[in-house]
Amino acid sequence: MATVTAENSNLVKFSDRLKHGRALAEDVWSIYNAANLPADCINLGQGYMNFAPPEWVTNAAKEALGVVAANHYSHPKGRIRLRQALKKVYDPQLKRNLDVEKEILVTSGANEGQYAVFTAFLEPGDEVIMFEPFFDQYLASVTFNGGIPVYVPLHPPANATGQFSSEEWKINPDELRSAITPRTKMIIVNTPHNPVGKVFTRAELEIIAALAKEHNLLVMSDEVYDTLVFDGKEHVRIATLPGMWDRTVTVGSAGKSFAATGWRVGWLFGPEYIIKPTLAATTRIVFCSNSPLQEAAAAGLEEVQERKFFETQTAEYAERRAILTSCFDSLGLPYTNPEGSYFILLDISRVKFPDDYPFPPSVLGRGRDFKACWFIAIEIGVSSIPVSEFYCIEHANIGEVYARFAFCKDLDTLKHASERLEKLKQYIV
């Protein structure tokens, strides 16, 4: 950012929404970026894969580049082949006969789809409830569209030791109810959850659904990790609960489904009254999404059932998860065993670092977890993400106990990281 001087002090001021959405603050992704860490540091912080999407899907992308029509604008709704493929996969999961023209919308990644929903439905001052820890993009997307975030924390188990299930992170129904005001417009539900790995139970979703119906609220159900649910856990879609289809928009992602996070292809499911205005918004935000990669995502979805791809992929991720959980068992530190997604939260409150350790200015003044994660990255050579970043200031103390480790990496990388993390024992008190 340019320095303000007497000569340029009269330049146009940027919008306050950047401040309210934390867009100007140096975020964790910048601080723990590979450019700021040792060259040989193993990145388990950021949730992108270091392996390729399935070959048959990347081949479809290459084929699409050779088709003239697939190199030009798509309909803002999304390419019909992709919408039909989504219908094939998700009709049984949503227990509906989805209308590809009115109830499915392809977006430029799940994040842009969510942004478009906020643009379509939020008026200035409308409140949006989000469970903490929250995916950090929610905050900016809500505030940029005039909304006011309202935070309801998930509560981890008290005095946990060893491995504990992500299901033990609980919502407090009374706290949720008390967060609702006459200005509340929407509740964001993220299941499977980033970063906790929690898969919300049917009973929990029924509590949220009852409140949404009682207070006439929309529910944005962010389900981008829906293909990564472990140990036979049931993934319940809140849109399938009685009376909830009419007030729910369900969010999905090709990036998470096919290990292709850079493709930026996502989708929304919902009733026409939600999808139609959201289509109007997304048309003015991006107009349309990447055409050849929509074709590739469609090709992937067309074959997942025959190939049993999602079942195989989930088993592969479970193997990756087991490498890290075995390492954390060896360390003797409490950690959350995720039921879904590809993140593990490790309790780093007992990791001791010198008071005079040379931390960079970017982590000074932040939660203790920022320092612990930096120390582990520099001294151990494995990066992670401090979880207090995903909380409001008032609740940051809950998050600063934890570091988030991503296991969306190949087996060799995870094994190498685990070997390094064994050295952390000397700093545990």
Q: How far apart are CA 184 and CA 179, in angstroms?
A: 8
Amino acid 74: pLDDT = 96
The proportion of the chain whose per-residue pLDDT surpasses 70, expressed as a percent, equals 98
Judged by average pLDDT, the poorest of 9-18, 236-245, 374-383, 393-402 is 9-18
* pLDDT surpasses 80 at 2: no
Report the pLDDT averaged over residues 371-393: 96
Across 21-25, 50-54, 257-261, least confident range:
21-25
Both ends of the chain: CA-CA distance in Å? 41
E runs forming strands in 211-288: 218-222, 248-253, 266-269
Would you tell me how many other CB atoms lie within 10 Å of the CB of residue 319? 12
Sheet strands (E) in 112-154: 127-132, 148-153
User: How many Cα atoms are found within 13 Å in the side-chain-facing hemisphere of 239?
Assistant: 28
Question: What is the reported pLDDT for 36?
Answer: 84
Question: What pLDDT band is residue 7 in, cutting at 50, 70 and 90?
Answer: low
What is the predicted pLDDT for the residue at 360?
92
The confidence score (pLDDT) of residue 17 equals: 84
Confidence grade of residue 27 (pLDDT, cut at 50, 70, 90): confident
Q: pLDDT tens, 65-117?
A: 999 999 999 999 999 999 999 999 999 999 999 999 999 999 999 999 999 99
Res 410 pLDDT > 80: yes
Average pLDDT, the chain: 95
CA distance 101 to 59: 28
Cα–Cα nearest to 46, from 315, 187, 255: 255
* Residue 373 reports pLDDT greater than 80: yes
Residue pair 289/119 in contact by the 8 Å Cβ criterion? no
Phi, psi values for residue 324, rounded to 5°: -70, -40
Give the per-residue pLDDT at 221. Answer: 98
Judged on CB neighbours under 10 Å (0-12, 13-18, 19+), 66 is: exposed
* pLDDT higher at 206 or 37: 206
Q: What is the pLDDT of residue 19?
A: 79
Confidence of residue 5 (pLDDT cuts 50, 70, 90): low
What's this model's pTM, rounded to 2 decimal places?
0.93
Model confidence over 131-162: pLDDT tens digits? 999 998 999 999 999 999 999 999 999 988 89
Phi and psi for 55 in degrees, rounded to 5? Answer: -60, -40
Cα separation values, 281 from 112, 114, 235, 330, Å? 10, 11, 30, 50
Residue 6 pLDDT class (50, 70, 90 cuts) = low
pLDDT over threshold 90, residue 30: no
Nearest-5° Cα angle at 368, 365 to 372: 115
For the residues 364-386, what does the mean pLDDT come to? 95
